[in-house]
Amino acid sequence: MLAAVATFALEGVRPQEVTVEVDERRGLPTFTLVGLPDRAIRESRERVRAALLNSGLDFPQKRLTVNLAPAHVRKAGPSFDLAIAVGVLAASGQVPADELAECALAGELSLSGELRPVRGALNAALGARRAGYRRLLVPEANAPEAALVEGIDVSAIPSLTRLADLLHGRWQPEPTEPAVRDPDEPLPEGPDLADVRGQADAKRAIEIAAAGGHNLLMVGPPGAGKTMIARRLPGILPPPSFEEALEITQVHSAAGIGDGRLAAMRPFRAPHHTISAQGLVGGGTRPLAGEITLAHRGVLFLDELPEFARAAVDALRQPLEEGRVEITRGQRTLEFPANAIVVAACNRCPCARPPDRCACTALELARYQRRLSGPLVDRIDLVCQVEAVPAVELVGRTEASRVTSDVVRARVMAARKRQLVRLAGSGVLCNGDMDGRLTRSQVPLDDALTDRLLAGRGRLPLSGRGHDRVLRVARTIADLNSRDRLLESDLDEALSYRLDTWDRVAA
């Protein structure tokens, strides 16, 4: 008999429907898997056999052929076990096939027949709903995550025995509660901006970065608090919307780093500077998400930016420009979402001492700063200098104003709302994502403002891209002040966050 069971493979983070066809016929007992299976799937043959027998079900002594179609989709991981086992049951007449036609399944089997959780349950649920399945059968540990998808009935299955019972109509699982957070449950607590002493300029810069979605570079000596400030960026960004949280959860579920619940916070990823280009943007023969994708809708922090391999940093070009990563493997192109705010940090110079005690030669300085050019730095709108806070201030008990992350987040959200309204229909959501053309149409300058900008240019040369960066940042500063029109002071402040200002200081 022939049976067909639907399941889903992951291509990047996208669910791709796979049909498991099982043919059972008389002949020498064999169990053949075809359809480009990787080693995990060949191993799944052994798990399926043991799981069926240990569940008191029959493993047919027949010629069994299993085909995973379509053949061109690369299939990886153990999540096909369940569909293969159920295909064998249906082909050998041990469960009714009609009930299966409206179901999709995903799950790994243990040798005893228990179901083990798999990656990408949320992605599979989205795929199953899109493909029109009425029901998704998944391991218990995956069910709350899959149930985040409305419009498809998600059933939590503990074991193969239970699944056979369900298909025979002898057992019904409890309805699955989706893994959303209770609205009354407080958000997971992140580090607070109020912990940072002094550093008014850097706090202002990170607020602007959050408000406009701008990439930020902090330049300063070790111990100044750069890492500390960067870690506080997710806490001042607006909490993710439901749609954004679904995107974050899909990425993390596919990568196997989710906690099985809907993401309540934006991610913060801080890869070490020894990371490869592949680790940063994704790839490999069986492509995996890179750090920029794991940071999707959140923050990617690159500490000690000049220490990163040039190739790794340059590989960020496409994600920074397009908010996604494309990886081509043979005939197929995988796509990973990759829209994150990049925060980078570095020392002012290789010796990292204060300017008056700097021991670097001009050549060393030039070499260090040359490493700070290229596609990433081109996309950094804000550069801010951070000096170490004197020890007395760090231990001092009182401080005039300690603004909390809650207060800053409220200002950021108000500024974001203004951008959403103004940018409606433009394809971008915040000032930091505007390209050059959109920037110039969105931030018109009158004569007085043009003069001001030219005066700023007079002091320092400003490239075309530098010009756009200043306009974008000035626009966000005005948004933070709830103003439609730019003031000269907005331009002045924006002009102060430029890399060439730092060049001059360093030279």
Looking at 175, 222, 427, 444, which residue binds ligand ADP (CB under 6 A)? 222
Residue with tokens 């989710």: 258
Instruction: Identify the three-state secondary structure at position 383.
Output: strand
Pairing between β-strand 103-105 and β-strand 135-139 as defined by DSSP bridges: parallel
* Distance between CA atoms of residues 248 and 244, nearest Å: 6
Is residue 196 a contact residue for ligand ADP (CB under 6 A)?
Answer: yes
* Distance between CA atoms of residues 226 and 221, nearest Å: 9
Is residue 388 a contact residue for Mg ion (CB under 5 A)?
Answer: no
Looking at 95, 224, 471, 495, which residue binds ligand ADP (CB under 6 A)? 224
Is residue 228 a contact residue for ligand ADP (CB under 6 A)?
Answer: yes
Residue closest to ligand ADP (Cβ) = 225
Is residue 306 a contact residue for ligand ADP (CB under 6 A)?
Answer: no
* Distance between CA atoms of residues 274 and 267, nearest Å: 21
**Closest CB to Mg ion among 96 and 222?**
222
**Closest CB to ligand ADP among 29 and 222?**
222
Candidate ranges 190-198, 249-257, 336-344, 465-473; the one touching ligand ADP (CB under 6 A): 190-198
Looking at 14, 226, 269, 296, which residue binds ligand ADP (CB under 6 A)? 226
Is residue 27 a contact residue for ligand ADP (CB under 6 A)?
Answer: no
Is residue 442 a contact residue for Mg ion (CB under 5 A)?
Answer: no
Residue closest to Mg ion (Cβ) = 227
CB of residue 370 to ligand ADP, shortest distance in Å: 22
Taking Cα atoms as reference points, which of 16, 21, 87 lies closest to residue 48?
Answer: 87
486 with 448: CB under 8 angstroms?
no
Candidate ranges 50-58, 220-228, 319-327, 442-450; the one touching ligand ADP (CB under 6 A): 220-228
Tell me which residues in 376-435 interact with ligand ADP (CB under 6 A).
Answer: 389, 394
* Distance between CA atoms of residues 151 and 293, nearest Å: 27
Taking Cα atoms as reference points, which of 2, 33, 7 lies closest to residue 19?
Answer: 7
Looking at 227, 276, 496, 501, which residue binds Mg ion (CB under 5 A)? 227
DSSP assignment of 453-479 equals HHHHHHHS---HHHHHHHHHHHHHHHH
CB of residue 377 to ligand ADP, shortest distance in Å: 19
Q: Which does 29 bind (CB under 5 to 8 A by kind): ligand ADP, Mg ion, none?
A: none
* Distance between CA atoms of residues 138 and 79, nearest Å: 10
Q: Which does 223 bind (CB under 5 to 8 A by kind): ligand ADP, Mg ion, none?
A: ligand ADP
**Closest CB to Mg ion among 88 and 230?**
230
Q: How far from 354 is each of 108, 351, 388, 391, CA to CA, in Å?
A: 57, 9, 10, 16
The two structure tokens encoding residue 64:
């069994």
CB of residue 385 to ligand ADP, shortest distance in Å: 12
Three-state DSSP string of 287-302: CEECHHHHCCCCEEEE
Binding footprint of ligand ADP, residue count (CB under 6 A) = 13
Binding footprint of Mg ion, residue count (CB under 5 A) = 1
User: Contact letters (x/-) for ligand ADP, 199-218, by CB under 6 A?
Assistant: x-------------------
**Closest CB to Mg ion among 229 and 327?**
229
| 93 conformational bin, left if phi > 0, alpha if psi -120 to 50, beta if neither | left
CB atoms within 10 A of CB 360: 18
Instruction: Identify the three-state secondary structure at position 184.
Output: coil
**Closest CB to Mg ion among 227 and 442?**
227
Looking at 63, 116, 181, 197, which residue binds ligand ADP (CB under 6 A)? 197
Is residue 354 a contact residue for ligand ADP (CB under 6 A)?
Answer: no
What is the radius of gyration, based on Cα positions, of the chain?
27
Is residue 227 a contact residue for ligand ADP (CB under 6 A)?
Answer: yes
**Closest CB to Mg ion among 147 and 344?**
344
User: Prior bond to 234 cis, omega within 30?
Assistant: no
C-alpha 200: how far from its chain's center? Answer: 30
The residue type of 290 is G
Candidate ranges 77-85, 223-231, 269-277, 281-289; the one touching ligand ADP (CB under 6 A): 223-231
**Closest CB to ligand ADP among 36 and 389?**
389
Is residue 273 a contact residue for Mg ion (CB under 5 A)?
Answer: no
- Number of helices (H) and strands (E) in the chain: give both, helices first: 22, 18
Is residue 225 a contact residue for ligand ADP (CB under 6 A)?
Answer: yes
* Distance between CA atoms of residues 215 and 416, nearest Å: 15
By the criterion CB under 6 A, which residues form the site for ligand ADP?
A: 196-199, 222-228, 389, 394
By the criterion CB under 5 A, which residues form the site for Mg ion?
A: 227
